[in-house]
Each structure stands twice: as C-alpha cells, then as structure tokens.
C-alpha cells in the first residue's frame, strides 16, 4: 500500500527523495511527506506534485532524509496524518507502511508518561516509543530495537534521528523493505522502483530484521540484536522499463507488452519437440511434487482469476485435484492440508499479505509451498519451498494486465511440467507447447485491431452497468473482464458463469444493461450461443468475443471483437486482451486516471 523511501549519501536528498516518491506513486496513496534533518519536514494531502509545490526553491537542502506516500488506515487522509511522524522534540522521524495493532495501549502508556501526540495515526506511536527508550540512556539503535520489540503488527519502516543525520534505520515485519547499495550512498524503499535509477545492487530484508545504513555501510540485525550476513542481489530491469515509452498511460503500454511478456515467460522453459516444460525453480522439489495428490492455489484479486483458469488446466491435463482459495479467507479457516498437499501462491508483487499468510499457514500444516511471482527476492519467493518467476518486468499501472498474462502462461507451463510426469501424453504436451509459442504473434494481431475496440468503448461509454459472461476456461475471464472495468472506470460490472445467469443475474438485463459474452469456438460454444439468445430475448445488448471466421455469432450479437483461434486450454490468454483494452479505452473516454484508480493500491501489504 504505502511507499517508504529513504536516502543517505552525497547527493541532493530532496531531489532524490521526491523523484523516488514519483516512482512509488503506482502503489496508491492519498498523501505525501518528506523530512530532511537539516531542513525539517513538509507534508501534503494529495499528489506528489502538490508536495513538490510546497518545497521552497531555496533552503530545503540536505544529504539524507526519509519520505513517504500514505494510504490511510488509521486516521483520515489529511496533511496532519501524513508521514513522516516525529516524537515530542522533533528528533525521531518515522515513515511506516503497515499497521501497529497494539498502538492504542502503547499510546495510552506514552501519554501517561508525558508524551503529546499530534496525529490520529498508529505510526506516531513508534517515534514516541523510541524517544521514551532513549530517555533511559539507550543509543538511537538500542532504543529503536527496544521499541520494535514492543510492537505487534506489521511494518516496513525507515527511522531517522536528527542528531545523527547520516544514519537511518530500516525495519521489516510483514511489509516489504529493500536496501539499495550504491557507491557512497544507501537507500531504503518499499520496492526497488525508486532505487534502480541509482543502483541495481539490493538487499531484501526478512521479517524481524532491522538494518542500519550510513552512506558507506549497512548492517543487518535480528530483533534480538544478532547480526545477519546477506549478499546483495542484482535487479534485472532498468529504470527505463518503468517509463511509459511513448504511450499515454502505463496501462496501455503494459497491455501492448503482452507478446513480449509471453515470450519472456516461456524463454528457455519449453522443449516443444518432446512436449515438455523445464522449470528450473521447481527442480529442487521434483521428488516431492511426484508425491502430492492435491494442490491448493491461494491468491487475491486478478491473481485469483488466473488461479481459477489454472485449476481447469491442471485438473484436465495433469489430473491433479485443485482447489482455489482466496488468500484472505484461507488463513481464517481450518483447511485440510498435509504433506501430500501443495499450496501454490500467485502474486505479482510477491508481497500480497493475505496470500503470504496463506502460504505460511500451509507450511505450518506440513504442505509443500510453491509460488508464482513477478518480483525477484520478494517475500513469497523467499519463503516458499520452490517456485516460478514470471519475468514480466515491472508493472506500474495499478490494474494488472501483463502480469495476468504471464501468470496464465506460467500455469500452462506448470500444467505441462506436472502433467508429463503423470498421465499427459507427449502428443498433448506438444500441442500445448506449439500453441504457447504461437500466442505472441496472435496477441499482436489483436493489438493491431485496438482502434476498433476503442470505437466500441466510445459507443458504450454511457452505460452504467455491465455483465460479463463465460463458461469453462473462460468463466474466470468474465470475472477478470468485470474487475478491470470496475477498477478503472468506477461503473458497476459483474462477472458471471454463463450457466448461472438464470439463477439471478438475468433479472438485471434490459436495453440499458449490456453484456460482454466470451463465446469463442470451444467445447461450450453452443451453450454460449444459447445464453446470448436468452439475453437478446430480454432486449439486452451483446458484445461477443468470438473466434476469427465465426459468421454464425454475427446473427445474434450486436458487436463482435474477434480473436485468433487457439486450443481451448489457452483461449483465456487471448480472450482477455480485448477485455483489457475495452476497460482501458472506456476509462480513458471518461477522462479518468487510468493508471491510478481511486482507493486502490498496486501491492496490498496490509489486511
């Protein structure tokens, strides 16, 4: 959710920090703030641009500082509640992502000890708690460790002491923190995006770890003061990759990157002449995978719809029973899990808290834990037994598009990988492999026709409601199409398995309630035609996603978006593209902020 960024070095800290905040905007936020020990703190509700306008042209300088983008949890999104937060004397300054669950009892104790609070946030407690411990002749580092040991909840935090400006402390518990290691400079951030313009050398903190940085050093400790040694990793994408590349919005740029994303996800992982998939990230658990008799996929949001497609793939071709669970629900159940169960988490960021906690629950119960993530070094990547990286590159727009394509592709690879060790024939493996390799060119053909999709979005832009329907492999794509339209255009859109339409949703249909029907040529095509007829009988408008060359559907649908033909198991990868484009152009026509929808964040690292 929130974004933290801190810097200590020789550069103009204000410039470094403000530019870093811009690169973190995709995470979603409602206020921003910056603190330099030499110049003080400036905060603003709203966008980073508003904060920049408040920065004096002269006099706001320094070589270190902390900065923050806030997404409100405790306290309204006001300037008063914006981070950084300070102690009574303005010596200890804190930026924090997460939730301090016991902040009320700590706050009451601190107020009794004479502390005065200025905000409604939980974060401010940490600054005062460190101040209280420093009264007992503890050093800044000792007091910070003591304070962190009193806190319950989640945090990714950067903490600075005015009287020791070169030194900044980072801490992590359940919320991601990454250190950037440069020559004569160090960085702390929620993710690598603000760091990569300066250095590609990073260190990821683990839960329960604290890092002390100066311009020339970094030291990592556990909460019990035990020192930790960890090598740096190299980030494999550039700052330029996170720029718009000439497109009006990141969302369109990332949709257009779909063909390359598929190629990158497949690269080096297919042996098409043998119908095999090689997934190096799973080789270490190959023997355990042969013993599993059940897979539980845990995910949230868009990733959960990829999981539902994966359920169909794995059950049909690998013949493994699969269940899909929302990460936010799994952790509060008593799931039946044992050593013959694999719990697979899917997350673009690799930091989605509910998915992470579901994986941890599976591990506690003896399951083999796997991950499909897009972020190297992320928590899910580190805490699972094995997994698959997407290699989709950075995704900046809050509405996930290219990562979803990569997740579907990775699940198809996993299906071949597991299926060929069971009952999948070489013929079936070869067919899926051949069609996977053909997908990029087919996606390019869809993208070349995006002007027609834009015209269609303009035609329907006054609609206030939309129904999306599909069957079998494509019923999850109906849900994904609906959530994309909801996310970026703020209109009511509902996904529905077409067979369930008569169990409620059809009551909503009239001439003002259009339907997007995914009706490509597959094993349930005839049934989809029947569902479309039912809608037309109630005067509903129908946009059909159909297979190229299908003339029959033109007799009943009002508008048609054609996609190339592929095998049924891979049809969701093609069929989702026009839905993504439709949502993008729909929101653009409404004049909305496509990349940063209201109330949403890219990475959900709190409950």
Extract the runs of DSSP E, i.e. beta strands, from 199-318. Answer: 201-204, 209-214, 217-222, 227-228, 233-234, 270-271, 276-277, 294-299
Structural domains of the chain sorted by starting position, each given as residue range(s) with its CATH number in brackets: 3-238 (3.60.20.10), 243-446 (3.40.50.10490), 452-589 (3.40.50.10490)
Say how far apart CA 178 and CA 176 lie, in whole Å. 7
Sheet holding 85-86, edge to edge: 85-86, 92-97, 155-161, 168-173, 209-214, 217-222, 227-228
Which is the catalytic residue, given 43, 402, 588, 602? 602
CA distance 79 to 146: 29
**pLDDT reported for residue 112:** 97
Which region among 31-40, 58-67, 503-512, 542-551 has the lowest average model confidence (pLDDT)?
503-512
Average pLDDT over residues 223-245: 81
Q: pLDDT category, 451, cuts 50, 70, 90?
A: very high
- DSSP bridge pairs for 109: none
For residues 96 and 91, what is the distance between their CA atoms, to the nearest angstrom? 16
User: Following CA atoms 450, 453, 459, 461 in sequence, which dihedral angle do they give, to the nearest 10 degrees?
Assistant: -90
Assign residue 347 a region (left: φ > 0; alpha: ψ between -120 and 50; beta: otherwise): beta
- Is 2 among the residues known to form the active site? yes
Average pLDDT in the 311-325 region?
A: 96
Residue of 2, 253, 300, 484 marked catalytic? 2
Question: pLDDT category, 378, cuts 50, 70, 90?
Answer: confident
Do residues 303 and 333 lie in contact, with contact meaning Cβ atoms separated by under 8 Å?
Answer: no
CA–CA separation, 300 vs 307, rounded Å?
9
Determine whether 458 is an active site residue. no
Rounded mean pLDDT of 208-227?
96
Contacts for 50 with CB less than 8 Å, ≥ 6 apart: 32, 44
Mean pLDDT of all residues belonging to the chain: 92
pLDDT for res 604: 66
> Does the structure show a pLDDT above 70 at 281?
yes
Place of tokens 């007992």: 136
Rounded average pLDDT over 6-34? 90
* Nearest-angstrom CA–CA distance, 478 and 572: 10
Q: What is the pLDDT of residue 500?
A: 84
Render the burial of 457-485: b for 16+ CB within 10 Å, e for the rest: beebeebeebbbbbbbbbbbbbbbbbbbb
Phi, psi of 79 (to 5 degrees): -60, -35
- For position 77, what pLDDT does the model report? 82
And the tokens for 119?
A: 């905000």
Rounded distance between C-alpha atoms, residue 316 and residue 389, angstroms:
24
| DSSP β-bridge partners for residue 161 | 92
- What order do you get walking across the sheet with 542-547 strand by strand? 492-497, 465-470, 515-518, 542-547, 559-563
Separation of alpha carbons 406 and 31, rounded Å: 32
- Is-cis flag, bond preceding 468, omega within 30? no
pLDDT digits (tens, 9 = 90+) for 473-526: 999 999 999 999 999 999 999 999 988 888 888 888 888 999 999 999 999 999
Q: Torsion over CA of 209, 214, 215 and 218, rounded to 10 degrees?
A: -30
| pLDDT value at 191 more than 60 | yes
The whole-number pLDDT of residue 27 equals 67
Mean pLDDT of the 390-407 span: 90
- Determine what percent of the chain is predicted with pLDDT higher than 70: 97
Distance CA 489, CA 582 (A): 11
* pLDDT score of 385 more than 90: yes
φ and ψ at 578, to 5 degrees?
A: -65, -30
pLDDT at 240 over 70: no
Q: Are 397 and 249 in contact (CB under 8 A)?
A: yes
User: In the Cβ-directed half-sphere of 108, how many Cα atoms lie within 13 Å?
Assistant: 3
Question: What is the Cα–Cα distance from 106 to 543, expressed in whole angstroms?
Answer: 56
pLDDT given for residue 179 in this prediction: 97
Task: Compute the chain's Rg from CA coordinates.
Answer: 25
Asked whether the predicted pLDDT for residue 606 surpasses 60, the reply is no
What are 593-597's contacts with CB under 8 Å, separation 24+?
Answer: 594/249, 594/251, 594/252, 594/397, 594/399, 594/488, 595/26, 595/249, 595/250, 595/251, 595/396, 595/397, 595/398, 595/399, 596/25, 596/26, 596/28, 596/397, 596/398, 597/398, 597/399, 597/487, 597/488, 597/490
Q: Which long-range contacts (CB under 8 A, 24 or more apart) does 149-152 make?
A: 149/223, 150/102, 150/106, 151/100, 151/102, 151/106, 151/125, 151/126, 152/100, 152/101, 152/102
Assign 28 a pLDDT band (cuts: 50, 70, 90).
Answer: low
Question: Cα(95)–Cα(152) distance, rounded to whole angstroms?
Answer: 17
Give CA–CA dist 267/253, Å, rounded.
21
Task: Compute the average pLDDT of residues 131-146.
Answer: 94
DSSP bridge partners of 209: 172, 222
Residue 245: band (very low, low, confident or very high) from pLDDT cuts 50, 70, 90: low
Please give the share of the chain, as a percent, with pLDDT higher than 90: 76
CB 17 within 8 A of CB 65: yes
Lowest mean pLDDT among 187-196, 307-316, 388-397, 457-466: 388-397
Asked whether the beta carbons of 340 and 301 are under 8 A apart, the reply is no
Task: Quick: pLDDT tens for 69-91.
Answer: 987 777 888 999 999 999 999 99
């Amino acid at each position: 959710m929130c974004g933290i960024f801190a810097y200590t070095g020789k550069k103009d800290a204000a410039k470094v920090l403000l530019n870093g905040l811009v690169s973190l905007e995709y995470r979603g936020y409602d206020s921003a703030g910056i603190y330099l020990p030499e110049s003080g703190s400036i905060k603003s509700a709203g966008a980073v641009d508003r904060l920049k306008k408040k920065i004096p042209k002269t006099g706001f300088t320094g070589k270190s500082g902390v900065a923050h983008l806030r997404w409100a949890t405790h306290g309204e999104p006001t300037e008063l509640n914006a981070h950084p937060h300070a102690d009574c004397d303005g010596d200890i300054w804190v930026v924090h992502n997460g939730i301090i669950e016991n902040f009320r009892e700590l706050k009451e104790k601190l107020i009794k000890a004479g502390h005065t609070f200025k905000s409604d946030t939980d974060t401010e407690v940490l600054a005062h708690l460190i101040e209280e411990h420093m009264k007992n002749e503890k050093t800044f580092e000792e007091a910070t460790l003591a304070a962190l040991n009193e806190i319950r909840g989640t945090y990714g935090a950067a903490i600075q002491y005015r009287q020791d400006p070169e030194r900044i402390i980072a801490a992590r518990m359940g919320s991601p923190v990454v250190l950037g290691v440069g020559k004569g400079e160090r960085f702390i951030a929620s993710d690598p995006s603000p760091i990569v313009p300066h250095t590609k050398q990073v260190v990821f903190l683990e839960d329960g770890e604290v890092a002390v940085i100066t311009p020339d050093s970094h030291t990592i400790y556990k909460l019990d003061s035990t020192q930790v040694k960890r090598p740096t990793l190299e980030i494999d994408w550039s700052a330029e990759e996170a720029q718009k590349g000439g497109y009006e919005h990141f969302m369109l740029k990332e949709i257009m990157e779909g063909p390359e994303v598929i190629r990158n996800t497949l690269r080096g992982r297919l042996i098409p002449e043998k119908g095999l998939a090689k997934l190096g990230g799973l080789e270490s658990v190959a023997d355990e995978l042969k013993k599993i008799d059940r897979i539980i996929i845990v995910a949230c949001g868009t990733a959960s719809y990829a999981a539902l497609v994966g359920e169909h793939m794995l059950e049909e071709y690998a013949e493994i029973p699969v269940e899909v669970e929302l990460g936010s629900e799994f952790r509060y159940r008593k799931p039946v899990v044992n050593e013959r169960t694999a719990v697979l988490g899917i997350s673009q960021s690799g930091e989605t808290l509910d998915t992470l906690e579901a994986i941890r629950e599976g591990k506690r119960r003896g399951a083999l834990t796997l991950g499909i993530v897009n972020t190297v070094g992320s928590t899910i990547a580190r805490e699972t037994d094995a997994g698959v990286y997407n290699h989709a590159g950075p995704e900046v727009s809050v509405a996930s598009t290219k990562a979803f394509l990569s997740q579907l592709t990775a699940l198809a690879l996993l299906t071949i990988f597991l299926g060929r060790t069971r009952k999948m024939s070489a013929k079936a493996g070869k067919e899926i492999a051949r069609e996977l390799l053909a997908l990029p060119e087919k996606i390019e053909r869809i993208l070349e026709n995006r002007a027609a999709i834009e015209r269609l979005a303009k035609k329907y832009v006054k609609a206030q409601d939309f129904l999306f329907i599909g069957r079998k492999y494509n019923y999850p794509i109906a849900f994904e199409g609906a959530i994309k339209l909801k996310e970026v255009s703020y209109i009511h859109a509902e996904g529905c398995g077409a067979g369930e339409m008569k169990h409620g949703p059809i009551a909503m249909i009239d001439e003002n309630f259009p339907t997007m029907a995914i009706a490509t040529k597959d094993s349930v095509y005839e049934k989809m035609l029947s569902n479309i007829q039912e809608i037309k009988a109630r005067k509903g408008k129908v946009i059909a996603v159909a297979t190229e060359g299908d003339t029959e559907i033109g007799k009943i649908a009002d508008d048609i978006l054609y996609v190339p033909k592929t095998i049924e198991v891979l049809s969701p990868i093609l069929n989702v593209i026009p839905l993504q484009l439709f949502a993008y152009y729909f929101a653009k026509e409404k004049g909305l902020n496509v990349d940063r929808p209201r109330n949403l964040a890219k990475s959900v690292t709190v409950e």
